[in-house]
A and B are shown apart, each in its own frame.
Chain A
């Protein structure tokens, strides 16, 4: 599977490389001519040539696009006041900022008026920069490809992956409020795959918390994500435990206590010596108090009967728990071993679409 993706990438990238080289030559030529026209103070011509570069769309690189927008901005806001087209210049600057928050007007094109206008546009334009790493080796199931996102206003940031066909998509990371944050593109969440192997789109979506304006940037990527197989964690079945206490014998304790108490009275009354002792009345009447104490004491103690301690069951339960914990430890250690040995890779095209 991995070989297939690598071959597909190589073939596709070979064809794209040839086409891209041609586009780069055309774009470079157009940019040089734009710069020449700007230097010759032919600002309308420079504007036209810069727009031709931008018209190449996705076929030009991000850097080429930024350079074209810088020239377009400068061509529409030159020093001669009568040749300025402020709206067009502002529009180009907005696009420039949207392409890259860190971009600006290069020194060779800059002059105080243009810088001032750019600062003004930058203050009123919501923009962001996304930095991704091309090759990302994922080590362990918690490994991730970092995606750094910077904005010029407090924003919510969402990182989403979508299959190339756009059928499946999932949010893989997000931040509620940030101006500079690093989100994590993880192939797995826990042990569940978030990112399936193959080509995918990485979508970074930032939303200005104040204006609710949203900027989206999409990157193409290819992932090699082997399935992570883990031993299922055993679940302790509490129902298998034996009862650790017998049934309370409150009534039996009370009944037997009353019987023995009555027996005490019976002994005191009936077990008498012969005459004259037996006929002389009770020599001792404590049997009543003792009998009552035995009966009442048994009843009271019986009320606190929580059931006999079933010590064999308790020992069996302890053994069952120990065995389960040992089994759990083995599974956990095996899963830790598997998770640390897990490897995946994510390749991201650093040029956003």
Chain B
């Protein structure tokens, strides 16, 4: 119910933002392109039975590429990898490749995408493909260089894994603050991302996961107004 409310809130706010978006003849925008190396301080909690919670932490390293056209539509690619330290299935090598389309404008976008997620499962390193559909709301305050956004998405495997019929479903929420430095092509980024995730087999839950990432990045951008 809570998740439903959160999603409804984001979508309603986004539609309002989208409707409120208007063109202004006093300034022109350029296409936005940014490339930001990112460090993600990651906490992962997993539970494979109903009693034990195992935790792992670590820093994932990667990069994020964002392109937006004049209307605000575009794509985002995010790659991060690293090893999480801890005990049990939560620990181990973790790879996360996230591709998103941004369909909409600066204020509101519907965000379909695809995630490749690689982590230890059942004693082996396993790669899993997941589709996602979500929404993003945001606003760039060009006078101060502050870009704020919030997004939410539903994540799911498109079809069951062929070898063992495992499927995955989850939900993700993310907030982000970006700061564009005056007169310089640099952008600072701070984001908080929470992903809750279930691995299922024949409707039975094999594993629950809660992945939290606090990401910091300093990147280059082109096209954002630099005051």
A324 within 8 Å of B by Cβ?
no
Q: A257 contacts B26, CB within 8 Å?
A: no
Q: A309 contacts B227, CB within 8 Å?
A: yes
Q: B174 contacts A272, CB within 8 Å?
A: no
Interface string of A295-337 (1 = CB under 8 A from B): 0011001101111111111000000000000000000000000
Chain B residue numbers with a CB within 8 Å of A302 are: 141, 144, 146
Q: B149 contacts A273, CB within 8 Å?
A: no
A270's nearest neighbour on chain B, judged by CB, is B2
Interface string of B36-72 (1 = CB under 8 A from A): 0000010101110011110100000000000000000
Which of B75-83, B112-120, B193-201 participates in binding chain A? B193-201
Q: A263-B150, A283-B45 are in contact. Are A275 and B50 (CB under 8 A)?
A: yes
Q: A280 contacts B53, CB within 8 Å?
A: yes
Interface size class on chain B is: 35 or more
Chain B residue numbers with a CB within 8 Å of A277 are: 45-47, 53, 208-210
CA of A267 to CA of B93, assembled, Å: 26
Chain A residue numbers with a CB within 8 Å of B190 are: 290, 293-294, 297
Chain B residue numbers with a CB within 8 Å of A250 are: 144
Chain A residue numbers with a CB within 8 Å of B149 are: 260
Interface size class on chain A is: 35 or more
Q: A301 contacts B145, CB within 8 Å?
A: yes
Instruction: Label chain B's interface by main secondary structure.
Output: strand
A137 within 8 Å of B by Cβ?
no
User: B24 to nearest A CB, angstroms?
Assistant: 8
Q: A266-B6, A286-B192 are in contact. Are A298 and B208 (CB under 8 A)?
A: no
Q: A257-B148, A277-B210, A290-B190 are in contact. Are A271 and B173 (CB under 8 A)?
A: yes
Q: A290-B192, A302-B144 are in contact. Are A283 and B3 (CB under 8 A)?
A: no
User: B91 to nearest A CB, angstroms?
Assistant: 14
User: B212 to nearest A CB, angstroms?
Assistant: 4
Chain B residue numbers with a CB within 8 Å of A275 are: 50, 208
Q: B26 contacts A287, CB within 8 Å?
A: no
Instruction: Label chain A's interface by main secondary structure.
Output: helix
B191's nearest neighbour on chain A, judged by CB, is A290
Chain A residue numbers with a CB within 8 Å of B179 are: 297, 301
A252 within 8 Å of B by Cβ?
yes
A291 within 8 Å of B by Cβ?
yes
Q: A252-B141, A272-B210 are in contact. Are A298 and B146 (CB under 8 A)?
A: yes
User: A277 to nearest B CB, angstroms?
Assistant: 5
A298's nearest neighbour on chain B, judged by CB, is B146
CA of A271 to CA of B149, assembled, Å: 17
Q: A256 contacts B47, CB within 8 Å?
A: no
Chain A residue numbers with a CB within 8 Å of B51 are: 276
Chain A residue numbers with a CB within 8 Å of B55 are: 283
Q: Which of B150, B205, B225 contacts A308 (CB 8 A)?
A: B225
Q: Which of A256, A257, A276, A304 contacts B53 (CB 8 A)?
A: A276
Q: Which of B26, B139, B192, B227 contacts A242 (CB 8 A)?
A: B26
List chain B positions with a Cβ less than 8 A from chain A: 2-3, 6, 25-28, 41, 43, 45-47, 50-53, 55, 139, 141-146, 148-150, 171, 173-177, 179, 190, 192, 194, 196-198, 205, 208-210, 212, 214, 225-227
Given contacts A271-B2, A271-B196, A293-B177, 14 further A-B pairs with CB under 8 A are A245-B143, A264-B175, A271-B194, A273-B210, A274-B198, A278-B210, A286-B43, A290-B192, A293-B190, A301-B141, A301-B179, A307-B143, A308-B27, A310-B27
